[in-house]
């Protein structure tokens, strides 16, 4: 079996960093879109505003969890590879 390249061993950490950036970016984009939608009215206590914020939080969380799961899968795959190889 061949030795894994160093960048492949570091790839799970890239997925974790991308997950954090993606969470913040997705949430900021959704919040910005909501602020543009409600910029001419005060809907701070409105149920629709709360629902939209909840949907934005759920979408950002789901994307981040997906990226973390990909990183965790790579960690497991690399550990299995090392175990089979005997390192």
- In this predicted structure, the answer to whether residue 22 has a pLDDT above a threshold of 60 is yes
Q: Give whole-number Cα distances, 71 to 32, 40, 87, in Å.
A: 29, 42, 21
Per-residue pLDDT averaged across 10-32, rounded?
A: 94
Nearest to 59 by CA among 16, 27, 20: 27
Q: Tokens standing for 51?
A: 């629902």
Per-residue pLDDT averaged across 6-33, rounded?
A: 93
User: Is-contact 71 2, C-beta < 8 A?
Assistant: no
Which pTM does this prediction carry? Answer: 0.79
User: How confident is the model over 29-79, as pLDDT tens digits?
Assistant: 998 888 787 767 666 667 777 888 899 999 999 999 999 999 999 999 999
User: What was the pLDDT predicted at 60?
Assistant: 94
User: What was the pLDDT predicted at 43?
Assistant: 60
């Amino acid at each position: 079996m061949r030795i894994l390249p160093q960048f492949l061993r570091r790839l799970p950490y890239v997925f974790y960093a991308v997950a954090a950036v993606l969470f913040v970016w997705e949430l900021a984009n959704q919040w910005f879109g909501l602020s543009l939608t409600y910029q001419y009215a005060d809907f701070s206590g409105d149920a629709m505003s709360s629902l939209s914020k909840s949907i934005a939080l759920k979408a950002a969380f789901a994307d981040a969890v997906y990226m973390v799961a990909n990183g965790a899968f790579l960690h497991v795959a690399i550990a299995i590879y090392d175990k089979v190889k005997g390192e």
